[in-house]
Amino acid sequence: MTSPSHTPNRGGESVETQSPELRKDPVTNRWVIFSPARAKRPTDFKSKSPNNPNPKPTSCPFCIGREQECAPEIFRVPDHDPNWKLRVIENLYPALSRNLETQSTLPETATTRTIPGFGFHDVVIESPVHSIELSDLDPVCIGDVLISYKKRIQQITQHDPINYIQVFKNHGASAGASMSHSHSQIMALPVVPPTVSSRLDGTKEYFNETGKCCLCEAKSKHFVIDESS
């Protein structure tokens, strides 16, 4: 989703100071985030090997006790507890900037190809312990993670320019993660991706024709690829 670059922009501005942008591909009608600052992200996967694909680093800013090494905290669970179970923080190397000035609505011209990269990019640290993955958590703790997603989404929706919010999780270096400590991310955009718009249009069309929700009508067995006894 991002396209880091180490080259200066047309005006000679260094990528160290260049603000993120949202650029529209005129061929696919797809919005792409151009965020040079993402190239500066550190990684703790550099020492990985086939026998140790997710090595534990000697120091991890996501681990409990190293909170001061992270970007500003938004909230934690439990609130104000030094023995937290999860934390929601700003991304230290965000693809989008929450500090950019933006209009409440996008320009209505079809020729607009570039807009400021305003948005939110947060990190949900799912556990204070480095070796614990999301799949290791008990149902209550997994519920806390999901409730935190909901809480942060509700906070972000108070910002009028935001039109789309996505929660995602990259697990491992091959999936694009730069930190091995279990975490997920929340990204909020001022534009709705075309693939999402087409799905919304499809569900609305189905409802208008049948008076029913196509997602509610879908049977879970139709989505099963394989199962074991």
Separation between Cα atoms, residue 196 and residue 61, nearest integer Å? 34
Separation between Cα atoms, residue 160 and residue 141, nearest integer Å? 31
Helix (H) or strand (E) holding 87: strand 86-90
Alpha helices in the chain (DSSP H): 139-156, 194-210, 214-217
Catalytic residue selected from 121, 130, 181, 183 = 183
| Ramachandran region, residue 26 (left: φ > 0; alpha: ψ -120 to 50; beta: rest) | alpha
Planar angle of CA 13, 14, 18, nearest 5 degrees? 75
* 183 given a catalytic annotation: yes
Q: How far is CA 87 from the centre of its chain?
A: 15
3-state secondary structure 9-36: CCCCCCCCCCCCEEEEECCCCEEEEECH
Separation between Cα atoms, residue 37 and residue 121, nearest integer Å? 13
Residues identified as active-site: 183
